[in-house]
Amino acid sequence: MTASSPGRGAISIRGLRKAFGPQPVLTGVDLDVPEGTATAVLGRSGSGKTTLLRILAGFERPDGGSVAIAGRVVDDDRRHEPVERRRIGYVSQEGSLFPHLDVRANVGFGLPRRARAKRVDELLKMVGLEALGKRYPHELSGGEQQRVALARALAPDPHLVLLDEPFASLDANLRAQVRGDVLAILRRAGTTAVLVTHDQDEALSAADVVAVLRDGVIAQVDVPFQLYNHPVDADVASFVGEANLLGGTVRGPIVETGLGPLTPFTPAGPDGLALTVLVRPEQLNLAADGPGPVSREAASGLRAQVLSCEYHGHDTTVHLRVGLPGGVPGTLVARLAGNHPVQPSGWVTVHVTGAVEAWPAGTRS
């Protein structure tokens, strides 16, 4: 950051509100995006992610609140800075390339003629497409089209690049590769980026920071590791990954559950307090067990029946049936290393490893 460009690319959003007719969409969004970072806004379909992005871009005007980009207020009760003055690049899901222009012309569209050729050369090299400058969009793969769209967004040296679910139209195998390529390019360029997505894996793997948008506000903002391991409530826990949610009761420094006594990350409250307890699938260790009915918890762990196994190569998802009352759900989900053999329809003993997150029952931030 320099004295002449304070906070270049940084975003500050305060109390942002937007409704369409009687339907509120954003009801008080507060969010800071640090300069030079990639922030993912994660939310369910219809949560207002794209509306938030369009307000940042200047395509929509908020009903209230403020937006500042690079230290300059671009939206508040008194002003609405137009799109062309915000120095923002925008990449949509489809890429939106001009079909009648080749790659070079798409990337250079809108640039001053004098600097166009040199800047286009730089950008095509940056995105690894310098050999494809004369091709037209229909001659490119989906991943190549998205890289061209990114180069075009970066061409005017924007303060900020906004990405609206830009990988959703790609097939699963290509999506991860293109996502990695695009985020690497943005980081090399030092560009601040905001990505909106409903894909939890995408948000956790691609972003420096993830903001969960729920009910028109940001429910939690955190780095991916903290968001996954320390969600603010059970709803966020279930949304950002598979979650086994159990009933529990505080007993001194531990929590009593149907999976046995578990250790919370932080003191859970006074004795007798009812809790909701999060156990992630990878925290469940399974040991092969002999046949027998589903019964009480053994001293060494909880016995469970394997309902199904989904083998993914790198890991295996195992669905289990448990039969204890007192808050244990009817099924549990475990995630094991791919080389861990599990017999479908067999019996296992379940152990929990590591500390668990817990909240007073019914808590929602």
CATH number at residue 251: 2.40.50.140
Q: What pTM value is reported for the model?
A: 0.86
CATH number at residue 108: 3.40.50.300
Q: Is 356 helix (H, G, I), strand (E, B) or coil?
A: strand
Per-residue pLDDT at 50 exceeds 50? yes
* Higher-scoring residue by pLDDT: 7, 9: 9
Distance CA 336, CA 318 (A): 8
What one-character DSSP code corresponds to residue 297?
P
Alpha helices in the chain (DSSP H): 49-57, 103-108, 113-126, 142-154, 172-189, 200-206, 224-229, 234-239
- Answer yes or no: do 178 and 278 share one domain: no
- The answer to whether the beta carbons of residues 342 and 304 sit under 8 Å apart is no
- Answer yes or no: do 216 and 239 share one domain: no
What does the pLDDT look like over 69-92, one tens digit per residue?
988 999 999 999 999 899 899 988
- Answer yes or no: do 218 and 299 share one domain: no
Residue 137 lies in a domain: yes
Residue 340 lies in a domain: yes
Mean pLDDT of 139-156: 88
Residue 314 lies in a domain: yes
- For residue 61 the two structure tokens come to 């005007």
Residue 148 lies in a domain: yes
- Answer yes or no: do 152 and 261 share one domain: no
Q: Which of 210, 234, 258 is the last residue of a domain?
A: 234
What one-letter code names the amino acid at 88? I
Mean pLDDT of 165-183: 81
Q: What is the pLDDT of residue 327?
A: 46
- The answer to whether the beta carbons of residues 20 and 46 sit under 8 Å apart is no
Q: Which domain does 31 fall in, by range?
A: 11-234
The count of domains in the chain is 2
Mean pLDDT of 141-150: 87
Q: What is the pLDDT of residue 297?
A: 42
Per-residue pLDDT at 167 exceeds 60? yes
Q: Which of 211, 234, 257 is the last residue of a domain?
A: 234
- Answer yes or no: do 216 and 242 share one domain: no
Mean pLDDT check: name the lowest of 28-42, 82-96, 192-206, 255-269: 82-96
Mean pLDDT of 127-151: 89
- Answer yes or no: do 35 and 160 share one domain: yes
- Answer yes or no: do 269 and 334 share one domain: yes
Distance CA 293, CA 282 (A): 25
Per-residue pLDDT at 3 exceeds 60? no
What does the pLDDT look like over 235-267, one tens digit per residue?
999 999 999 999 999 999 999 998 889 999 988
- For residue 313 the two structure tokens come to 């190569």
- Answer yes or no: do 71 and 148 share one domain: yes
Q: Is 49 helix (H, G, I), strand (E, B) or coil?
A: helix
Q: Which of 185, 214, 234 is the last residue of a domain?
A: 234
